[in-house]
Each structure stands twice: as C-alpha cells, then as structure tokens.
Structure 1
Amino acid sequence: MSDILVKAVIGLIKAVVFVYDAVSFIPYYITFDPNSKLRQSRRQKAYPISDEDEPPWRSVDVPGGELTTTLFKECSTLDDLFVRAVRLYSSRDCLGTREVICEEDEKQPNGRVFKKVILGDYSWITYEQAYTRVTYFGSGLLAIGQKPRHNIVIFAETQAEWMIAAQACFKYNFPIVTLYATLGQDAIIHGVNETEVTHVITTKDLAPKFNGILKLMPKVTHLIVMTENTRLPQVKEKPDNVKVLSMKDVELKGAEPDNINSPITKPSRADIAVIMYTSGSTGLPKGVLISHGNLMSGMSGQCERIPNLGPPDIYIGYLPLAHVLELSAEISCISHGVCIGYSSPLTLTDTSSKIKKGGKGDVSVLHPTLMAAVPVILDRIYKGVWDKVNGGSVFARALFKFAYDYKKKQLENGYDTPILNKLIFSKLCNLLGGRVRLMLSGGAPLSNATQRFMNICFCCPVGQGYGLTETCGAGTVTEVTDLSLGRVGAPLICSEIRLHDWPEGNYTNNDTPFPRGEILIGGGNITMGYYKNKEKTEEDFVTIKGVRYFCTGDVGQFEEDGNLRIIDRKKDLVKLQHGEYVSLSKVETALKINPLIDQICLCADSNQLFTVAIVVPNHKNLLEFAKDLGLNGTDINQLIQNSDLLKQVQKKLAEFGVKSKLEKFEIPQKIKMVNDTWTPDTGLVTDAFKLKRRNIEEKYRSDITRMYS
C-alpha cells in the first residue's frame, strides 16, 4: 500500500472517529464521568503536618491522624495474618505450581543448546492444605534442632515451597535469612557464617552450589532441599556431621504426634522475622533486620493503595522472594485471600526463553489480575511491542500510531476507548494473560514513556512504588486514579516523609516552586537497622521527635498536590568540571528506552567536562540500523567496533536525549558499545537489575579512560 493511500485511509478513519466522538459524546460523558476522574486524579493527596523548617508530610487519608501499624486490628504478627486468612479462606486455592511435563534440549542456529520446557496446567493447594504443610514443616524443623529466635537461611528461587517454608518460620519464630539465588559461593559462605545459621533451606538446582563449601560453614548441621523425591542431590565434600534432608522428610517428621504437640514459642511484633540481605548495588550486601511489626506496618500502607484486593484476584509470583517488594506483595495477597500462581522470568510469557516454541507461558495459563514488575521488564515489553509494530506494514504502523495517540489523549482527558481496546489493544493485553487490572512497578525509576505505554496498550493502571529494604519496601505508591506520570505518589498511610536540606547539592525546603531535599521516611515500617553493623545503622537511621526515620540518599520534591517526585540521588550526583551537576540514574532512565539500547551505564568524572557511557546494544535493532547505513555483516563483535556505526549510534542517542529534555552536558559525548549481557550472575547488576556501578566501571575501566583521553 502506497504512502498516499495509507494517508488517505488513515484520514478517512480520523474523519469517522471525529463523527463518532460527536455522536457518542453525551453517552460517553455520562458513562466515564471524566470530570470526576480528573478531580480524583488532581485531588490533594498529602500535606505538611507542622510549621517546622523541614516538616513531615503525611497522606490526607491517614485514619484518625495516626500512622497505621497493622493490616487488621486483631493481627499483630505475620503468623496472625496467615491464621486469619486460613480461617476465612480455608477451601480457596492458595498456592499454585505448573506441572513440568518434560524438558528438551533445543539447538540454536549459532550452535548453542538451550533447555526448553513443556509445562502443563497449574496444580493448587488450598489455604487449609498450605497451613497443614506450614505446621508440619515448622514442627519438623523444631524436631531436628532448629531453635526459636535462631536464624535460618532460605536460599532458593521463588516458588510455593519458599512461601511454605517462610510461613513455617514466621509461625515458629525462626528468623529467616534471605540470600539471592544468583549468589556465588563466596557470598553464600559470608551470609551463612555471619548469621551463624545451623539449618539451610535450598532447592535441588541450587544444592550443587554447596559442593566443597559446607566444610567452610562450621555451624551448619542440616541442608534441607525443596523436593519430595526420595533421591536427594549429592553434595560433594560434605562433612559427616551435616545431614541432607528433603522438605518432605522434615514435614513427615513434624507430623509425628510427639513433635506436632510440642510447645511453640510464638513471635511478638518486636521479634525479627527476616534478615534480608540487600542486593548490594554499592559495596558488600548488608543484612537488614526486619521485625514482624515492621512488615505489618509496611503492608498496611501498601494494601490501602490496592482497591478491592481479595478474591477473585490472582497474583503471579516470579520476582525474587529474597527481595522485599515480592515478599511483602505475596504476604499481602495471602492475607487477603488472593491465590498466587508461581512463575519465573524464563517461563513468564509465550516468548520467554525457556518456553518451547508453540507452548504457553505462565501468564497465558494463569490469567493473573495482579502482578509486580521491575522497570527493566516493562522496558523490554515496551521495546518488544514497538519493534513488532515498526516491523509491520506501513498501514499497520500508521493505524497503531493513530490508535495509540488517540487513546493517549482520551486517557489524559478522563475517558477510555472500549472499541479500540477490543479491536487493537486486546491482543497486547493477552501477552500478559488478558486480565491484569493493576500492575505495580518498583525497584528503580520507571520512564514516563514506558508507564504511559503500559496504561494504553495493556489497559491497566501502572502504579509506581517507592521504598527500600530498610523501609520494608513501603514509602509511597501512586493511586490508581492518578493520571500523571513520573511521580511515585504520596506517603502511604503507614509513613511520613521529611525532605532534609542538602545545601551541597543545592536542594532545600525553601526552593521554589516546590520544597526539595533528601528523602527521610519515618514510621513503624522503618526497620531495626543492619545486622552486626552498628556504625552503619547509626549513620543511616535517625529518630526525630519520637519517630524513627531512614535516610534514603534519594532527593525528592513534594509537588502541589502532595505527590512525591524523585529528582536525584546523592550517590549518583556528579559535579562536572564547570560546576554542572549530572544525575547518572536520571539520564540512564531517559536513554535506556531507546530501541538501540538494551542496557546503559553513564559515567562521569569531576575532572572532566562531559559524560561518557558504556552501552549494551540491542542486537536485532543494531543490525537493522547498520543495514540501513549500508554496513553489511551480522557479526556483532565486528559491528560494535565500527567507528562509523559508533558515530551514528552516538548521534541517535544525542537526538533522543534532546527529545527526552536532557541538558546537553547530561548527554554522553562518547560511548563504548560492548557485546555483553549484564545479569545478576555477572555481578554487574543486582537481582532487581539495578546497576552495580562500581563493578561496571571497574570492568570497563580501560574503555572509560580511553573515551576521556
């Protein structure tokens, strides 16, 4: 179809839509009530509660003027929450796992072999069945020597057994030490020895990581493997005093009459529930001490921002349970009778890397209504859809762009587009199962373009959350009725936030038009500090007028309606030679959605006049870009060394930076493309895919030096 014909057809469609808008104006106005939606979006959401120089800000919805500390009045601990849920939802499905029918090796065109799986349906256990397993497992741990208030490690991928083990530990007052499944042996040894655990819970796939290192963990007596098989994995060089048991073995032990009737040391709000090791974007990971009361407080605020949470909602769990975002999300869901179907990033969608071609990913089988995500996943969805659109016919591209722009305008004016949703966007909705009603993004900043894209194409609100491990993941969450972009919402009803003046960075509460400063989050969700690290605890945690605060290191501003916007990070702020301040993460967030980029790390030096960047290019789009430039070849290693291609990519990034409203001094003046993938296994990003900036700069030190020279 010629360009002239395409323009004529799209023009005709626009004319038809114009007439349709005129005819449907009154019924749509009555149906969608846009003025009410706009008022709700723009309503005052928070305000300062005193006349201090650095006043605390609180949500306008704080009940009775007091910050909340629990989800339900009758519950004071995490165990209380689960007991209540079992009482109310005993016969309802609780935890679901897909059956693995078989695994196959699939050879790729480049000769590499990938493991592919064929999966069946989800099989479920009810709340009552889950409670029975929790009780038996906790009783079994007690019977084999695990002591109350004595730490226990869970080193496992996200799955139903992780949550069963966790609930057992909450019930029997065993503080959980969480370690990311991607950790190497040195980090495992450090975490296990520092917390002095005797019992370690792991999986069959991760058990080999203990080969040869159990002898370096002198206090460990039991390695418990999440499997019901009688055949346990062989652990090499295992000391004779260490027993390897299956989770099933422990549950059977716990079900014995003498054990199931043993007295239980119930937890209190002040007891430690989790020692959560941060993912360590800078330096060594720190163990954050999280009490039952801390998590209860944090979840009370988070759940208030999720309308109508409860049956018949289905949540898909695939992010690491060793991360506070996923842990608090899953416990919150269970507390409200929501069933959780488990997945992984490798099997999430039909096109995920471990799903055999023609097979169905987990979302296509589960049809979740709720899901959490980190920006890197949403950015990939964003790029993937646009790549597919741009690879289509001229007419298909023009039609999609018209539909996209039209719906964007309608959403911003308080309307929706039910016909376009059904005819065009329903196919995209089906990529995530077709029923997602709310998505929560956390862990890092989400770009405006990606956030609006998800609103439009997946027909659901995307709430940005802001919190840290030290605040139980709780701080702010945007309201589902908020139509704005780029902000993280008002303080939760469990928290208050102060902006602490940072004169060195030129941020103060007296700034206009909005007060600015380092974000301090206070409330019952602020954790107990760092494990065996009193100095760092005293540095990062402060008490002001009886309220405990965590100093986040992030810089924010409260805008007119009480929404918080993250504008900087103290550690990411670099002053260039001429005095300009560059926020590294801000620039990366803006540039990483460029189709040519998969990952980017901005580098700046106070002794230099400009910034540079290390770029992991998108192979497919780079090859197409090179072809358009007349550069032949499919070898990525050769292409990324091509000086002409490098200059053109640099030019494209500069143009993209200008469109993203970056200042000239913020845009990298030189880039280095590398044929690497930054995954948690490489040690260059955390499990939440935050950059480990120091590690990246060290790995590419010679390239950075060369760009500056």
Structure 2
Amino acid sequence: MSKSFVVPSSEVPGYSPIYRHPKYKSGTHNGEFADITTLYELFGHVVKTYPKREFLGAREYYPETNSFGQYAWITTTEAADTISELGSGLDIVYAKYAPEINPATGQQSIGILAVNRSEWLLTELAAFRSRRYTVGVSDIAGVESAEYVINSTDIHVIVCSMDKIPRMLDRADKTPGLKVIISMDKLDCSKPSIATQAFIKDTVGILKTRAESLNIALLDMDEVIAMGRLNPTKPAPPKPSDLCTICFTSGTSGAQRGALLTHDAFTHATRGAHLSLELYDTTYFSFMSLMHIFDRYAIYTFMHGYARVGFFSGNTANILDDMQILRPTVLPISPIILNRMYDRIAEATIGATGVSGMLSRFGLKSKTKRISAGRGFRHALWDRLVFDKVASKFGGNIRLMITGATPVNPEVQDFFRAALSCNVIQGYGQTETVGGGLVQMATDCTNNTIGVPSPGVDIRLRSIPDMGYNATDAPSPRGEMMIRSKILFSGYNGDPERTKEVMDGEWMATGDIAKINSDGSISFVDRISSTLRSASAISIEPAPLEMIYSGHRLIKSVHVYGNVCTYELVAIVVPEPSAFVPWARSVAGKADADLTELCKDNNVAKVITRELRTLASKNHIPPWEMIGAVHMEPVPLEQINKEFYTSSLKIRRHIVNQHYKARFDELYSTLDCTIDPKVSSEEHK
C-alpha cells in the first residue's frame, strides 16, 4: 500500500501527479477542529478543554549561585488571565504612544526580541487579542539585521529581555519609528533572571534616562499588566485572514525576507500536523529559536492535543541538564544539534573500547533490527545494560523526536531510535509554509525520507530538465517540489516581485528537488537555489561573496561552498598568474616553481586563506561567510569542464559542487568546525 495517495488523472506535461495524505484524500481536514480558525481561538480551545493544567514552565533561577532549580509553571487558566491583562495593557500603550495603523495591513505590529521564555508566547497571544501581529527580531546576525526587520515591518513597540535594552537604545537613531520598549524583566531588578545578571538599579536608572532623552518610553511587562488590570479593554480577536506574524527567513542583514503568515495559514499548518502525528498530553521542550518558524509551529501543533511547554534555561550548554529536569515527551531538534549529540554519545558507547563498546555495538544492532521489524522500541536486556543510561540524559521520557531542515544520516537516526527507545522522524517545511508540509508518520521507522504530505497539503514535482530531474523518471519521479495548500504564506513583506518568482499559479515552488519513492514516501534530493547554508543556519548568497573575494589582486576567481554540518566556508581559488606566481614563489621558497606546483603547495594555500580572511574583515563580512580553507586551481573553471557553465555563462553550481565534492570533504577534514562563529565572534556581539 502506498504511503501517499495519488490523485487520479492529476498529472500534466512537465509535472508529476498530485500526492496527498492517505487518510485525507480530499485534500482537506475533513472538518476536524473546524472551529479553530485563528491561533487566538486555538489558545481559547486549550483553556476551555484543559483548564488549570500546567502550561508554560521555566526553571527557577538563583542569582547567588548563578544556577537553576526545578521548573515553575503557570496554568492554562493563569495564562489566560495574564494574556487578558497584558493585552489590555498593550491597548493602552498603543493608544498613548503608537496609535498608527499600518496602511498595508490594516493592523499593528509588535516586535519580540528575546531567547525562548514564557513571556515570548504570552506577548504573542496578548498581541493576537487585539488583532496585532508579531515580528520576531534577532540581533545575532549583527545590528543591521535588527534595524532592517524593525524598519521594514513598521515596529513601534518592542518587547524584549532586559539584556537587549542597551543595544536597542544604541540603534535608536537608525530605528526612528520605535517609540516603546517593554522589558520582560522588572526594571527594579526585584525578579532576577539570567537576562538581568549585568544590571543593578543604578544601571537601569541610566537606561531610563537615556531612553527618555531619545523620546522612547521604557516600561516593564508587569507595569503594562497592571495597566490592563486597572483598565480592562474589550478583546478584538483576529479574523482568519488577518496577519498572524511576519517571520523572517534565515538570511544575512538586509538579505532577509519577511514571510507574511495569516492565522488561516498557521492554524491550517498546525492542525494538519496534529492530525498526522495524533499526539496528546505532551511535554514539549522549547529551545530552538522562537524568532524562526519551526518552534512556534511545533508548539501550536501540540497545543491541539494539550502540551505543557518547558523553556530551556537560556544557555544551550545547559540543554541536557534542562531536559533531565523537565523530562520532555516530544523533542524537536535540528540535524546539526542531533549530529553533535551523536558524536559525543556515540564516542562513549558504540565507539568505546573494551567490553562496554562491544556490548553497545551488539545492543544497537539488536535493537535496530527489532525496531525495523516493528517489534517495539524497548528491549529488556539492552536498555537495562546500555541505553537507559543514554535516555536518562534526555530525561528518560521522550516518546518522539522530530527533525527537519536537512536530511539526517540514517546511522544517526537509527542510533537515537535505539538509544532513546522512541521513534525519530523527519519532516519538511519552510518559513513560507509555516514550517509544515510533509512529515513522517509517528509510526514510520524508515530512513532517507521526509515522509508524506500533511493533511490538507498537495504536493507535486515539476521537471527541471537542465538539472537532469524529470517528473517522468523511472522508477522514482524527480523534480522541484511544489506545494499547494492553505498553509502557504501571503507573500514577502514589501517584495511583490520576489513573491511572484516563487509562485506558479496556486503552487509555490520550494526550490528543493525531491523524489517519490516506490512506497509513496518522498525524499529530499537536491537544491535548485545557489544559496549556501552552513551549520550556522544562516542562508548565504555566494555571488556577492565571490565578487568581493575575487577582487584580491592575487586572484582571478573564487567559487565558495558551504556544508550544513560545518560552520565555515571552503573555496576553489583560481589565481591571477602574473601577480600570484612571484608572490607564491616567495611564500613557498621555491624560486623556479611554476603555477601548477605553487597551487599544490600547502603553505601557499594557507597564506592565501589568511589573505582572504583579512580581505573579508576589511569588507565587514561576518564570520560565517569567511573562508576556512582553499583548494588552489591553476586552470580557470570554464577550461576544466564546459558543463560548469550555461550557454549564457551562468555557473551551474550543482555540477561544480559535484565535481569537487571529494576535494571539499578533504578541506573540511582539516578544519575545526565545532565552533559556532555566531557565538564566538566578539566582533558581532
């Protein structure tokens, strides 16, 4: 039986048939949860159906020892009261300081800048109460990124953690529309948190004085809640067609694109995921940035069947400790983090020497075979001897692990299925699809697949003959994945031309190549876009970078490459012979060496790499766009293989990357790729 339903007679020239979820062949949700049409209604459903249940939790913080204790919770009912009072308070703040309505949307935006915490979701739900939409703001990618987001989305009010306030004031002259900053933390420092460590009353007083001089109102969330409690306002709930959020795709500074997502799209995506996974009474661990789409998509998905959401303590180094206290039942996780955890845990188990390693390897083989045969995830012997110790590091209670963004190594997927005694599934989605689209069923234990379309989502493939992918390929149709559904975004904020580029009638072109497997599941194959993505999870456009790097006097051309499992770029460098040869002879100490010999010299390659990094610094290129290692190529790429370029001399990156795949792997093997430049770089703090 096929895992996907093939819509009869739906193929047209250049396209595959349409594929749907096997239980929802009509392409709809069959009326399930039809009364939930906005995220505000979804929250109302949670409060009504699961009153007084634990809802949002955070670990208690002890400033004296800079340590954390148990999780403290607010209930669904308490959250509803807070949201009502905070929403009323926001109404008062907007009326006084920022009454303007965005003419393009007919609504008002509110910015949120903080790591994941209860106040993030409380702010978002309070904003929904009066038809406002949220915009997650990040300052990880540099000051320019936050400025671009604030200005392009008309943010007048921003809610942030206390540690973000100084930087918000620093950029005030470049964000002239910003009128109010609301601190999630009490400005009198009476409720210490990890975000208030560097503050005392005197320093907060300086911030208040500075904000006043900039004509920015500085309040804290408790003040706003108190306003709303004293002067409650009537809710003005959103319509399904209203904007829910503008969520920015990962990008560098001004290159980011804000996807316009409506309540209709968001509820359709989360409802479909819930119907597909059918999970109830979950404990969810939130640590993947709420600014991006995936964590919010997952939280609202599990809210359909009730979820208690526990937030990480604010430091990714404490994630395992947080999970041991929280004991989550579902865990969303990115492939890069999963791979890091695998490297550490595998080294201590299946990679260990002696009896311990032998038992771990034998146990993994035995459990993997058992799981693949459908005989369950538990094994009385091997769990007691080996795997319960691993599972305890994750809290010992995980029922499902979900990953996406990039394919997961089958060995890693099978290892965690055995080690945690739960299924590990993959999914697929984009910001433009509210994070949803496809997901493996919760009982599917196969590998190398992103699952099947979620209920209410249509998938088909479009032939890309220039890349050799065709919807008529046998036995597996291949092509660009196209999506048609209510989950689709309404366009890019202020960029109608780019919106038109990704739409083909009712269908959105994902830019990703997929194939239909013989069992009806779908697998990720390739990307059309030239965009690179390293482990930093920030999209990188190679052409502008290559233009800068190729401007070096010693270089004719540069081809950069990124790997989603590593943090640095590598590159193919073609030298400019007239300048390069005498310079390289001096570096190598080889007076008679020719161009080919010099290109093979490791010391020359290292010095060229340093030259490129110096050039990058002078051009204010961020760390994750710097080159960590190079392969010197004496012959211009167009002379190596005529297939590298189209007839109009546009580079065919996928062919170049395939040609140099082994060389790129060798270059990455020489790098220390364990340090995230977003975190380590002092320049971008």
TM above 0.5? yes
- The answer for the alignment partner of 2:544 in structure 1 is none
Asked if 2 retains the 8 angstrom alpha-carbon contact of 1:94 and 1:334, the reply is no
Q: Identify which of 47, 54, 59 aligns with 1:93.
A: 54
Separation (CA, whole Å) in 2 of partners of 1:467 and 1:59: 15
Query: 1:509–1:573: structure 2 CA closer, same or farther, 3 Å change rule?
Result: farther
The answer to whether the aligner puts 1:429 opposite 2:391 as a matched pair is yes
Aligned with 1:285 (options 242, 251, 256): 256
**Residue in structure 1 matching 2:667, options 664, 671, 680:** 671
State the one-letter code of the partner of 1:310: Y
Tell me how many residue pairs correspond in the alignment. 552
> Corresponding residue for 1:465?
427
Q: CA offsets per residue over residues 492-518 of structure 1, 9 Å max, x none?
A: 112111211111101111112111111
Name 2:413's counterpart in structure 1.
451
Q: Which residue of 301, 310, 325 maps to 2:280?
A: 310
Check the 8 A contact 2:50/2:306 in 1, yes or no. Answer: yes
- Cα 1:122–1:344 shift into 2, 3 Å: closer
Deviation at 1:55, TM superposition (A): 3.8
User: Which amino acid in the other structure matches residue 46 of structure 1?
Assistant: F
* Structure-2 residue corresponding to 1:336: 305
Q: Is the 8 A contact 2:58 2:72 kept in 1?
A: yes
> Quick check: 1:98–1:121 contact (8 Å CA) kept in 2?
yes
Distance 2:454 2:181 in 1: 40
Structural mapping, 1:386-535, within 5 Å: 386-389=346-349, 392-416=352-376, 417-535=379-497
Distance 1:472 1:44 in 2: 23
SS state of the match for residue 447, structure 2?
coil
Q: CA deviation at 1:156?
A: 1.2
Match of 2:336 among 368, 376, 400: 376
* Aligned counterparts of 2:332 and 2:214: Cα–Cα separation in 1: 43
Cα distance in 2 between the residues matched to 1:202 and 1:78: 22
Compute the displacement of 1:367 (Å).
0.7
Aligned to 2:4: 45
Partner Cα distance (1:215, 1:390) in 2: 56
Distance 2:256 2:679 in 1: 15
TM-score if structure 1 supplies the norm length? 0.72
* Cα distance per residue 1:234-283 (max 9 Å; x no partner): 43843442110001010000111xx31x3433211110010111111797
CA RMSD of aligned residues (A): 3.3
1:376 alignment partner, SS class: helix
**Structure 2 CA distance for aligned equivalents of residues 268 and 405 of structure 1:** 53
- Residues 663 and 220 of structure 1, relative CA distance in 2, 3 Å threshold: closer
Q: Which position in structure 1 is the counterpart of 2:636? A: none
The reply on whether 1:322 has 2:296 as its aligned counterpart is no
Indicate whether 1:253 and 2:214 are aligned.
Answer: no
CA–CA distance in 2 between the matches of 1:325 and 1:450?
A: 21
Q: Is the Cα–Cα contact under 8 Å of residues 514 and 558 in structure 1 kept in the other structure?
A: yes
Equivalents in 2 of 1:218, 1:181: separation in Å? Answer: 17
Q: Distance in 2 between matches of 1:154 and 1:563?
A: 38
Of all paired residues, the percent bearing the same amino acid is: 24
Q: SS at 1:330's partner residue?
A: helix
The equivalent of 1:79 in structure 2 is: 40
Q: Normalized against structure 2, the TM-score is what? A: 0.75
> Structure 1 CA distance, aligned partners of 2:39 and 2:264?
8
The one-letter amino acid of 1:336's match is: G
- Contact 1:367–1:434, Cα closer than 8 Å, also in 2: yes
| Alpha-carbon distance between aligned partners in 1 of 2:495 and 2:82, rounded to the nearest angstrom | 36
CA 46–388 in structure 1, closer or farther in 2 if over 3 Å, else same: same
Q: Distance in 1 between matches of 2:661 and 2:126?
A: 50
Matches of 2:22 and 2:184, distance apart in 1: 43
Question: What amino acid does structure 1 have at the position aligned with 2:229?
Answer: A
SS in 2 for 1:668: helix
Cα displacement (A) at 1:368: 0.7
Which among 493, 510, 514 is matched to residue 552 of structure 1? 510
Match of 2:167 in 1: 209
CA contact (8 A) 2:265 2:487 kept: yes
Give the superposition deviation at 1:135.
Answer: 0.9
More moved, 75-84 vs 182-191: 182-191
CA contact (8 A) 1:466 1:474 kept: yes
Residue aligned with 2:663, SS: coil
Q: How far did residue 601 of structure 1 move?
A: 4.5
**Cα offset for 1:90?**
1.4
Tell me the equivalent position of 1:135.
84
User: Which 10-residue stretch deviates more, 476-485 or 407-416?
Assistant: 407-416
Preserved CA contact (<8 Å) 1:530 1:536:
yes
- Cα distance in structure 1, aligned partners of 2:313 and 2:90: 27
- 5+ residue gaps, structure 1, are 1-41, 105-116, 575-581, 593-597, 615-639, 644-661, 687-709
2:265 maps to 1:294: yes
Report the residue type matching 1:297 in the other structure. Answer: H
Kept in 2: contact 1:495–1:521 (CA 8 A): yes
Residues 294 and 440 (structure 1 numbering): CA distance in 2 closer, same or farther, change over 3 Å? same
Once residues 69 and 191 of structure 1 are traced to their aligned partners in structure 2, the CA distance between those partners, rounded to angstroms, is: 38
Deviations 1:535-562, CA, capped at 9 Å, x for gaps:
101111232xxxx322111101011222
Instruction: Name the structure 1 match of 2:131.
Output: 173
Per mean C-alpha deviation after superposition, the further-off stretch among 71-80 and 161-170 is 71-80
Q: What secondary structure does 1:206 align onto?
A: helix
Q: Label 1:606 to 1:132 Cα distance change in 2 as closer, same or farther (>3 A).
A: farther
Structure 2: state its 5+ residue gaps. Answer: 102-106, 190-200, 533-558, 576-595, 603-627, 632-656
- Secondary structure at 2:518 match in 1: coil
Distance 2:188 2:531 in 1: 54
Check whether the contact 1:343–1:362 (CA below 8 A) recurs between aligned residues: yes
Amino acid at match of 2:330: L
Q: For 1:478 and 1:170, locate their aligned partners in 2 and report how far apart those are by CA, in whole Å.
A: 31
2:325 counterpart of 1:365: yes
Write the distance in 2 (CA, Å) between the matches of 1:227 and 1:264: 25
Judge conservation of contact 1:227–1:246 (CA < 8 Å) in 2.
yes
Q: Alpha-carbon deviations, 1:587-619, whole Å to 9, x = none?
A: x46xx5xxxxx6564646899x9xx9x9xxxxx
Alignment of 1:578-597 (within 5 A): 588=563, 592=565
Report the CA distance shift for 1:294/1:682 in structure 2 as closer, same or farther (over 3 A): farther
